[in-house]
């Protein structure tokens, strides 16, 4: 039963770390990346669709992204979705593709984005701590129900604490990497 609780905690903590990494990838660093558009949707064919489903993305240069719609009829819809996303990008539409030029980030904007990354990391750490609290509560409930020795419960709690530390270290590592990326000129 303790192993089951630990496995569940590992899965949830891994999910929190993965979520944090995905969140970090949505922060613009001044380099072109299709990851910025993972969450964007546009209405096409009468339904909301992700931009990845409507177009392909390529990076011909470090600061340029080219969006090629699978269906030319969706070009204006995709362009409107990018404009409405308010990312500070001005799409250039030539009738076949949309070109996005990524301007160099100012020092002030870089610092603002670092603060956003830190807030995202803090949120992920809180999720991991919440999973830890839940797992420890389940272990305490096991102890109260009986059938499991106090030593086994203590080892389980120690393992949950170690898992928490391990996952928070992963979040901090991803955070540091993203901050370094942001501050690079």
Q: Decide: 34 and 3 in contact? Cβ < 8 Å.
A: no
Domain positions in the chain are 2-25+106-183, 34-101
CATH architecture, domain defined by 34-101: 2-Layer Sandwich (3.30)
Write the DSSP string, 14-42: HHHHHHHHHHHHTS--SS--GGGGSS-EE
Q: CATH topology for 2-25+106-183?
A: Topoisomerase I; Chain A, domain 4 (1.10.132)
Q: What is the DSSP letter of 177?
A: H
Segment among 32-41, 42-51, 150-159, 161-170 with least mean pLDDT: 32-41
Q: What is the pLDDT of residues 115-143, one digit of tens each?
A: 999 999 999 999 999 999 999 999 998 88
């Amino acid at each position: 039963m303790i192993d089951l609780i630990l496995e569940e905690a590992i899965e949830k903590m891994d999910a929190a770390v993965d979520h944090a990494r995905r969140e970090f990838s949505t922060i613009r660093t001044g380099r072109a990346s299709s990851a910025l558009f993972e969450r964007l949707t546009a209405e096409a064919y009468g339904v909301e669709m992700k931009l990845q489903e409507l177009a392909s993305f390529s990076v011909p240069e470090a600061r340029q992204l080219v969006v090629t719609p699978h269906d030319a009829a969706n070009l204006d819809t995709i362009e409107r979705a990018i404009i409405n996303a308010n990312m500070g990008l001005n799409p250039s539409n030539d009738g076949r593709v949309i070109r996005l030029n990524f301007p160099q980030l100012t020092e002030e904007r870089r610092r603002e984005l670092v603060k956003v990354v830190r807030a995202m990391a803090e949120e992920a750490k809180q999720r991991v701590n919440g999973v830890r609290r839940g797992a420890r509560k389940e272990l305490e409930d096991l102890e109260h129900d009986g059938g499991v020795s106090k030593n086994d419960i203590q080892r389980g709690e120690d393992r949950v604490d170690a898992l928490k530390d391990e996952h928070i270290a992963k979040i901090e590592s991803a955070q540091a990497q993203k901050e370094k990326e942001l501050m690079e000129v």
